Amino acid sequence: MSQPLKHVVIVGAGFAGLSAAKELARAPVTITIIDQQNHHLFQPLLYQVATAALTPAEIAVPIRHVLRRQRNAQVLMDRVVDVDTYAQKVMTESGRAVSYDALVIATGARHSYFGKDHWAKFAPGLKTLNDAFGLREKILMAFEQAEIVVEYDPEAAKRFQTFVVVGAGPTGVEMAGAIAELSFSVMRDFRRIDGKQNRIILLEGGPRVLPSFAEGLSSRALRDLGELGVEVRTGAMVTDIAAGRVTTNQGDIAAETVVWAAGVQASPAGRWLALPVPNSGHVEVDATLRPAGLENVYVIGDTAMHKADGVVLPGIAPVAKQMGIYVGRRLAKLARGQVPSKGFHYSDAGALATIGRNRAVADIFGLKLKGLLGWFIWGAAHVYFLIGFKNRLFVMLHWLWLYLTWQRGVRLIMHRETGGTGKDIRTPS
């Protein structure tokens, strides 16, 4: 490199960014980690916050707290708006220009509506605590609204008791299963509405659920979903989403609550770097996780598109973590003037998805696990990867409580503005 590697700027404190920062703990560099949130979020359990099983604090930890003992790291809570790769500066919303010798971009992805962004209003996705919080509110309010209108408008009540999840990847499957368990467990607390009217519909454009899993696990997941009362519709293409209605190539569905788990859109990193990117926004990177032509910029995690043996790596936590560790180690060597390691290699430990209590499918180290065993593996793996002993402890306690009592402990509706969301939300649409 032209100048010595002294200051590393990492944008984004998800699995990828945080792993890179930790890997640099003993390297002769200073690190500035910039994130628009103050917390690292354990996204794999976000759907449990959205379905009132866990509290936000249990799956999130302040970034400063994670790095409090890493003296060469400082955290800046700010939003990046642009990058000047010539001057080697990162521009932030608060007006700072942060210089870097090496830049690591790990800003993740948001959900994508394939150009139909007006669907977002009716079919929110699940990427941030705020998303989960809003979705939890929407799901819980649906039952309250049904209880209010059921007598004078049974059709509206049915609409409020119908939940549609679009996309049957791991997130969609977990979401559908969790909504099913939630909707049937809260029924005993209501007096007027009928639990039999609850419908949870999972829409998948492809031929099977969990397309990234082996056939056998897909069909097991399908069976588990059926046993939980989830209606699965494969080959179902969503053509339109509006207030209270989802239109598909298989007909209309009247539903007030729609969850989007169908597609993702990478962060605007490509624009910041003035690189050509596909519609998905992903930035293509080489074996060293750098975009072509940028000497000291790395793009990792869900923002990156990296082909391993011609196959694009999926946007999942293990890939992000391993990319972060790779870049951290590479930069540590460069800072010490050593020869950097070879290209990035992803070691695939497999995949897990839970459908509900005692139900999960796992494909790890070649082993195909189902049912209770898969479920235990799933739980153990997720607790293990949580950051912070406290969160591990409280998540396990919460799960134990939920398992023994069937009671979802976090059924809170907190209207953002008194009268605001409250009013709108309570007026049947």
Query: With contact defined as beta carbons under 8 Å apart, do 96 and 74 qualify?
Result: no
Among 7, 22, 25, 77, the residue binding its own copies under the rule CB under 8 A is 77
CB-nearer residue toward its own copies: 364 or 413: 413
Which parts of 397-426 interact with its own copies (CB under 8 A)? 397, 401, 405, 407, 409-419, 422-423, 426
What the block records as the tokens of 114 is 């394939």
Minimum distance between the CB of residue 388 and its own copies, rounded to whole angstroms? 9
Query: With contact defined as beta carbons under 8 Å apart, do 41 and 85 qualify?
Result: no
Name the β-bridge partners of 240: 247
Stated as kind and residue range, the H or E segment containing 164 is strand 162-166
Query: With contact defined as beta carbons under 8 Å apart, do 167 and 263 qualify?
Result: yes
Minimum distance between the CB of residue 150 and its own copies, rounded to whole angstroms? 12
Minimum distance between the CB of residue 419 and its own copies, rounded to whole angstroms? 8
Among 6, 28, 68, 380, the residue binding its own copies under the rule CB under 8 A is 68
CB-nearer residue toward its own copies: 385 or 401: 401
Query: With contact defined as beta carbons under 8 Å apart, do 164 and 195 qualify?
Result: no
Q: What mask of x and - would describe binding to its own copies in positions 277 to 296, judged by CB under 8 A?
A: --------------------
Q: Is 176 in the site for its own copies (CB under 8 A)?
A: no
Q: Is 429 in the site for its own copies (CB under 8 A)?
A: no
Minimum distance between the CB of residue 44 and its own copies, rounded to whole angstroms? 18
Candidates 9-17, 169-177, 249-257, 390-398 — which segment interacts with its own copies by CB under 8 A? 390-398
Name the β-bridge partners of 267: none
CB-nearer residue toward its own copies: 130 or 212: 130
CB-nearer residue toward its own copies: 370 or 408: 408
DSSP 237-287: -EEEEETTEEEETTEEEE-SEEEE-S-EEE-THHHHTT----TT-PEE--T
Q: Is 81 in the site for its own copies (CB under 8 A)?
A: no
Q: Is 147 in the site for its own copies (CB under 8 A)?
A: yes
The H helix count followed by the E strand count for the chain is 12, 26
Q: Dihedral of the CA atoms 85, 88, 90, 91 (nearest 10)? A: -80
Q: Which of 58, 137, 174, 204 is catalytic?
A: 174
Catalytic annotation on 181? no
Candidates 14-22, 64-72, 176-184, 252-260 — which segment interacts with its own copies by CB under 8 A? 64-72
Query: With contact defined as beta carbons under 8 Å apart, do 159 and 196 qualify?
Result: no
Place of tokens 């939940």: 163
**Rg of the chain (C-alpha set):** 22
The CA distance from 206 to 219, in Å, is 14
Q: Is 153 in the site for its own copies (CB under 8 A)?
A: no
Candidates 140-148, 163-171, 298-306, 321-329 — which segment interacts with its own copies by CB under 8 A? 140-148
Query: With contact defined as beta carbons under 8 Å apart, do 263 and 237 qualify?
Result: no
The binding site for its own copies (CB under 8 A) comprises 36-39, 55-58, 60, 62, 64-65, 68, 74-79, 93-94, 96, 128-130, 133, 140, 144, 147-149, 186, 188-192, 390, 393-394, 397, 401, 405, 407, 409-419, 422-423, 426-427
Residues designated as active site = 174
